[in-house]
Amino acid sequence: MKTQAPAIVEAANGGSDVSSSSLEEDVCTSALEALQHVCVKDEICKQVGIELEAASLLLGQLPCERSVPVAKGLSGLLRQLLGSDDFKTLVLGMDCAPILTRTLSCHSQSPQVVEQVLGALAAFMMRLPAAAEDVAKAGAIEITTQLMEENT
């Protein structure tokens, strides 16, 4: 199965001609969302992860400068992919937890992004103690607690 995942994620970063010519931000976020809905089985998640070069491209696209819709789309796709144990294994050791924690902090005022990032962190930690340790070391627990206190 060959997908357009790498081109879509690269377009979300504004790093290709596709983004500037044919994929406006709303189309790009729609494409990310569609890709998220396709990744429903472990084998698909693993294949998309491999095509994304073990998700390094996806993780690299989550800087704080991302717009809310793009950050939500990228985080949502990552959340879906992290539901796969094979995918988690691919991204373990790739600074997934610090990147997600930074994204959570940068977009703390956006409930849509916060929901996707927290879901991605939860999926990453599920059945993978090393990932849970990475999440704790990255400070995600403190930021999550702070967000919960601010929003009660």
Task: Indicate the pLDDT class of residue 6, thresholds 50, 70 and 90.
Answer: low
What's the pLDDT at 28?
76
What's the pLDDT at 62?
67
Q: Which two tokens stand for residue 58?
A: 């996806």
Q: 43-83, pLDDT tens digit by residue? A: 888 787 777 654 556 666 666 777 888 888 888 888 988 98
> Which residue shows structure tokens 């992860």?
49
55 CB contacts (<8 Å, ≥6 apart)?
Answer: 49, 78, 81, 87, 90, 91, 94, 96
What's the pLDDT at 38?
86
Which residue did the predictor score with more confidence, 64 or 148? 148
Longest pairwise C-alpha distance within the chain: 45
| C-alpha triplet 66, 25, 9: angle, nearest 5° | 65
Q: Which two tokens stand for residue 73?
A: 């789309």
What's the pLDDT at 78?
87
Whole-angstrom Cα distance, residue 144 to residue 24? 32
94 CB contacts (<8 Å, ≥6 apart)?
Answer: 54, 55, 56, 59
Whole-angstrom Cα distance, residue 107 to residue 100? 10
Q: 109-142, pLDDT tens digit by residue? A: 999 999 999 999 999 999 999 999 999 999 999 9
Which residue did the predictor score with more confidence, 81 or 152? 81
- Whole-number average pLDDT of the chain: 80
What's the pLDDT at 143?
95
